Amino acid sequence: MSEESTQTIAEDDWAAAMAEQSTNTAVAQPASDIFPELSGKPGGNGIASDIDMILDIPVLLTVELGRTKIAIKNLLQLAQGSVVELDGLAGEPMDVLVNGTLIAQGEVVVVNDKFGVRLTDIITPAERIRKLNK
């Protein structure tokens, strides 16, 4: 087969594929039929049902006392009873993160012999953006 006839066959295949695609797009369903609309209207399809869709999604909540950098040789020397100094000060509010994003600050509380966090300050979206720009 010559190069010219191979090119003609390839062009014919492309032309057939393009023609098939144009006929299939005419019958395609609109996106509104495939995906339900998330509206703010009250009732059966309102905000309450929209939020219900995400309420059971698990997120990772982390409470951070502080951080430190340590050399591997010092890390290997740690034993039971060793003390690791953190950058956070005693009495300073702890950071509360959701999926790694700071959302609040709080203080340690003890309830029924278990530690907890009392939220003292909620970080607003505007404050989060401001901290990103620093």
Q: What is the average per-residue pLDDT within 8-35?
A: 63
Q: 59's torsion region: left (phi>0), alpha (psi -120 to 50) or beta?
A: beta
Q: Global pTM?
A: 0.53
Chain centroid offset of residue 114 CA: 29
Query: Residue 6: pLDDT above 90?
Result: no
pLDDT tens for 42-85 read 545 556 667 788 888 999 999 988 889 999 999 999 999 999 98
Residues 47 and 66 in one domain: no
Question: In angstroms, how far is the first alpha carbon of the chain from the final one?
Answer: 65
pLDDT tens for 110-134 read 888 888 899 999 998 888 888 777 6
For the beta carbon of residue 102, count every other beta carbon within 10 angstroms: 15
Residues 53 and 23 in one domain: yes
Residues 77 and 126 in one domain: yes
Between CA 48 and CA 44 the distance in angstroms is 8
Residues 4 and 40 in one domain: yes
Range of the structural domain that residue 10 is part of: 1-57
Q: Are 109 and 115 in contact (CB under 8 A)?
A: yes
DSSP letter, residue 30: P
User: Tokens 């720009």 label which residue?
Assistant: 133
Tokens, residue 63: 């409470």
Chain centroid offset of residue 35 CA: 22
Q: What is the pLDDT of residue 126?
A: 86
CATH of the domain at 69: 2.30.330.10
Residues 133 and 76 in one domain: yes
Q: What is the average per-residue pLDDT within 80-102?
A: 88
Q: What is the average per-residue pLDDT within 18-42?
A: 60
How many domains does the chain contain in total?
A: 2
Residues 51 and 114 in one domain: no
Name the domain boundary from 36, 57, 78.
Answer: 57
Q: What is the average per-residue pLDDT within 32-43?
A: 58
Q: Are 84 and 68 in contact (CB under 8 A)?
A: yes
pLDDT confidence band for 34 (50 / 70 / 90): low
Residues 96 and 74 in one domain: yes
